[in-house]
Amino acid sequence: MAELDGKTIAFLVATEGVEQVELTEPWAAVEKAGGVPRLLSVEAGKVQALNHLDKADTFEVDAVVADADPATYDGLVLPGGVANPDALRTDEDAVAFVRDFVEADQPVAAICHAPWTLVEADVVRGRRMTSWPSLQTDLRNAGAEWVDEEVVVDGRLVTSRKPDDLPAFDEAMVELFAG
Protein backbone atom coordinates (compact mmCIF):
# COMPACT_ATOMS: atom_id res chain seq x y z
CA MET A 1 0.00 0.00 0.00
CA ALA A 2 1.13 3.55 -0.73
CA GLU A 3 2.58 5.78 1.97
CA LEU A 4 0.97 9.06 3.02
CA ASP A 5 4.03 10.36 4.91
CA GLY A 6 2.19 12.56 7.40
CA LYS A 7 -0.35 13.96 4.95
CA THR A 8 -3.41 15.41 6.70
CA ILE A 9 -6.71 13.96 5.51
CA ALA A 10 -10.05 15.60 6.35
CA PHE A 11 -13.06 13.41 7.08
CA LEU A 12 -16.21 15.52 6.76
CA VAL A 13 -19.37 14.32 8.51
CA ALA A 14 -22.62 15.71 9.87
CA THR A 15 -23.32 15.74 13.62
CA GLU A 16 -25.39 12.57 13.29
CA GLY A 17 -25.88 9.79 10.78
CA VAL A 18 -22.46 8.83 9.44
CA GLU A 19 -22.21 5.09 8.76
CA GLN A 20 -19.62 4.07 11.37
CA VAL A 21 -17.74 1.52 9.27
CA GLU A 22 -17.46 4.03 6.40
CA LEU A 23 -15.74 6.41 8.82
CA THR A 24 -13.60 4.00 10.86
CA GLU A 25 -12.22 1.74 8.12
CA PRO A 26 -10.97 4.54 5.81
CA TRP A 27 -9.68 6.35 8.94
CA ALA A 28 -7.67 3.24 9.90
CA ALA A 29 -6.38 2.90 6.32
CA VAL A 30 -5.15 6.51 6.38
CA GLU A 31 -3.39 5.94 9.72
CA LYS A 32 -1.87 2.63 8.55
CA ALA A 33 -0.45 4.42 5.50
CA GLY A 34 1.15 7.08 7.72
CA GLY A 35 -1.44 9.80 7.22
CA VAL A 36 -3.05 12.02 9.84
CA PRO A 37 -6.86 11.87 9.76
CA ARG A 38 -8.86 14.82 11.13
CA LEU A 39 -12.60 14.82 11.79
CA LEU A 40 -14.49 17.88 10.52
CA SER A 41 -18.15 18.51 11.20
CA VAL A 42 -20.70 21.30 11.14
CA GLU A 43 -20.50 21.75 14.93
CA ALA A 44 -17.87 21.30 17.63
CA GLY A 45 -18.15 18.45 20.13
CA LYS A 46 -18.97 14.90 19.15
CA VAL A 47 -20.65 13.26 16.19
CA GLN A 48 -23.00 10.30 16.47
CA ALA A 49 -22.25 7.39 14.14
CA LEU A 50 -24.74 4.73 13.12
CA ASN A 51 -24.64 1.04 12.27
CA HIS A 52 -27.29 1.27 9.56
CA LEU A 53 -30.17 2.79 11.58
CA ASP A 54 -28.93 1.96 15.09
CA LYS A 55 -26.84 4.37 17.16
CA ALA A 56 -23.20 3.31 17.37
CA ASP A 57 -20.15 5.14 18.76
CA THR A 58 -19.52 8.86 19.08
CA PHE A 59 -16.38 10.56 17.78
CA GLU A 60 -14.70 13.81 18.84
CA VAL A 61 -14.64 16.58 16.22
CA ASP A 62 -11.21 18.05 15.47
CA ALA A 63 -12.44 21.14 13.60
CA VAL A 64 -15.64 22.88 12.57
CA VAL A 65 -15.93 22.99 8.78
CA ALA A 66 -16.90 26.70 8.81
CA ASP A 67 -13.46 27.45 10.30
CA ALA A 68 -11.50 24.98 8.16
CA ASP A 69 -9.30 25.95 5.22
CA PRO A 70 -9.31 23.31 2.45
CA ALA A 71 -5.71 24.25 1.60
CA THR A 72 -4.50 22.83 4.94
CA TYR A 73 -5.63 19.29 4.00
CA ASP A 74 -4.06 16.88 1.53
CA GLY A 75 -7.21 14.85 0.91
CA LEU A 76 -10.90 14.69 1.74
CA VAL A 77 -12.99 11.65 2.68
CA LEU A 78 -16.78 11.82 2.54
CA PRO A 79 -18.20 8.79 4.38
CA GLY A 80 -21.76 7.71 3.74
CA GLY A 81 -24.80 6.78 5.72
CA VAL A 82 -28.14 8.05 4.43
CA ALA A 83 -28.61 10.86 6.96
CA ASN A 84 -25.00 12.08 6.91
CA PRO A 85 -24.72 13.50 3.36
CA ASP A 86 -28.37 14.52 3.42
CA ALA A 87 -27.57 16.79 6.39
CA LEU A 88 -24.23 17.97 4.94
CA ARG A 89 -25.82 19.10 1.69
CA THR A 90 -28.05 21.51 3.60
CA ASP A 91 -25.07 23.12 5.35
CA GLU A 92 -23.65 26.00 3.29
CA ASP A 93 -20.21 25.80 4.93
CA ALA A 94 -19.89 22.05 4.28
CA VAL A 95 -20.97 22.43 0.65
CA ALA A 96 -18.58 25.36 0.12
CA PHE A 97 -15.70 23.38 1.69
CA VAL A 98 -16.34 20.45 -0.66
CA ARG A 99 -16.71 22.71 -3.70
CA ASP A 100 -13.51 24.60 -2.87
CA PHE A 101 -11.66 21.32 -2.33
CA VAL A 102 -12.71 19.89 -5.70
CA GLU A 103 -12.16 23.17 -7.56
CA ALA A 104 -8.61 23.31 -6.16
CA ASP A 105 -8.05 19.86 -7.74
CA GLN A 106 -7.39 18.24 -4.38
CA PRO A 107 -8.17 14.50 -4.05
CA VAL A 108 -11.58 13.41 -2.77
CA ALA A 109 -12.91 9.98 -1.80
CA ALA A 110 -16.67 9.41 -1.37
CA ILE A 111 -18.56 6.22 -0.56
CA CYS A 112 -22.17 5.06 -0.53
CA HIS A 113 -24.57 8.04 -0.15
CA ALA A 114 -21.73 10.59 0.21
CA PRO A 115 -21.86 11.70 -3.46
CA TRP A 116 -25.05 13.59 -2.57
CA THR A 117 -22.78 16.24 -1.05
CA LEU A 118 -20.78 16.36 -4.29
CA VAL A 119 -24.03 16.80 -6.24
CA GLU A 120 -25.01 19.72 -4.00
CA ALA A 121 -21.55 21.26 -4.50
CA ASP A 122 -22.15 21.01 -8.28
CA VAL A 123 -18.85 19.21 -8.94
CA VAL A 124 -19.93 15.94 -10.59
CA ARG A 125 -20.66 17.10 -14.15
CA GLY A 126 -18.60 15.07 -16.63
CA ARG A 127 -17.33 12.66 -13.97
CA ARG A 128 -17.53 8.86 -14.07
CA MET A 129 -18.76 7.75 -10.63
CA THR A 130 -20.45 5.11 -8.55
CA SER A 131 -22.51 5.26 -5.36
CA TRP A 132 -25.27 3.49 -3.49
CA PRO A 133 -27.67 2.53 -6.33
CA SER A 134 -30.49 4.85 -5.21
CA LEU A 135 -28.31 7.89 -6.02
CA GLN A 136 -27.77 7.00 -9.69
CA THR A 137 -30.60 9.22 -10.96
CA ASP A 138 -29.41 12.17 -8.85
CA LEU A 139 -25.87 11.75 -10.15
CA ARG A 140 -26.98 11.41 -13.77
CA ASN A 141 -29.26 14.46 -13.44
CA ALA A 142 -26.26 16.40 -12.09
CA GLY A 143 -24.22 15.43 -15.17
CA ALA A 144 -22.22 12.43 -13.96
CA GLU A 145 -21.86 9.09 -15.72
CA TRP A 146 -23.04 6.58 -13.08
CA VAL A 147 -21.68 3.02 -13.19
CA ASP A 148 -22.27 0.02 -10.94
CA GLU A 149 -18.68 -0.87 -10.02
CA GLU A 150 -16.89 -1.64 -6.74
CA VAL A 151 -14.62 1.38 -7.02
CA VAL A 152 -14.27 4.11 -9.66
CA VAL A 153 -11.33 6.49 -9.99
CA ASP A 154 -11.92 9.55 -12.16
CA GLY A 155 -8.97 11.91 -11.96
CA ARG A 156 -8.75 13.18 -8.38
CA LEU A 157 -12.05 11.53 -7.33
CA VAL A 158 -12.57 7.99 -6.05
CA THR A 159 -16.06 6.61 -5.34
CA SER A 160 -17.48 3.31 -4.10
CA ARG A 161 -20.95 1.86 -3.59
CA LYS A 162 -21.24 0.36 -0.10
CA PRO A 163 -19.49 -1.03 2.99
CA ASP A 164 -18.72 -4.31 1.19
CA ASP A 165 -16.53 -2.26 -1.19
CA LEU A 166 -14.40 -0.78 1.62
CA PRO A 167 -11.23 -2.85 0.97
CA ALA A 168 -11.08 -1.68 -2.66
CA PHE A 169 -12.19 1.84 -1.69
CA ASP A 170 -9.51 2.14 1.01
CA GLU A 171 -6.76 0.96 -1.34
CA ALA A 172 -7.80 3.32 -4.15
CA MET A 173 -8.25 6.20 -1.66
CA VAL A 174 -4.77 5.80 -0.18
CA GLU A 175 -3.22 5.51 -3.67
CA LEU A 176 -5.00 8.70 -4.73
CA PHE A 177 -3.95 10.60 -1.59
CA ALA A 178 -0.35 9.37 -1.94
CA GLY A 179 -0.27 11.09 -5.31
Query: In the predicted model, what is the mean pLDDT of residues 56-77?
Result: 98
Residue 1 lies in a domain: no
Residue 108 lies in a domain: yes
Residue 137 lies in a domain: yes
Of the pLDDT bands very low, low, confident and very high (cuts 50, 70, 90), residue 171 is very high
pLDDT at 50 > cutoff 80: yes
Catalytic residue among 65, 112, 157, 166: 112
Residue 127 lies in a domain: yes
Cα 98–Cα 20–Cα 36 angle in degrees, nearest 5: 60
Residue 135 lies in a domain: yes
Catalytic residue among 113, 156, 161, 162: 113
Give the CATH number for residue 110: 3.40.50.880
Per cent of the chain over pLDDT 90 is 98
Instruction: Answer yes or no: 52 catalytic.
Output: no
143 DSSP assignment: T
Of the pLDDT bands very low, low, confident and very high (cuts 50, 70, 90), residue 2 is confident
For all residues of the chain together, what is the average pLDDT?
Answer: 97
Instruction: Answer yes or no: 113 catalytic.
Output: yes
Number of domains within the chain: 1
106-158, pLDDT tens digit by residue? Answer: 999 999 999 999 999 999 999 999 999 999 999 999 999 999 999 999 999 99
What is the pLDDT, as a whole number, of residue 34? Answer: 98
Residue 126 lies in a domain: yes
pLDDT at 89 > cutoff 90: yes
What is the pLDDT, as a whole number, of residue 85? Answer: 97
Residue 3 lies in a domain: no
Rounded CA-CA distance 32/85 in Å is: 26
**Domain assignment of residue 156, given as a range:** 8-178
Of the pLDDT bands very low, low, confident and very high (cuts 50, 70, 90), residue 40 is very high
pLDDT at 1 > cutoff 90: no
Q: Output the DSSP codes for 36-65.
A: EEEEEESSSSEEEEEETTEEEEEEE-SEEG
Residue 109 lies in a domain: yes
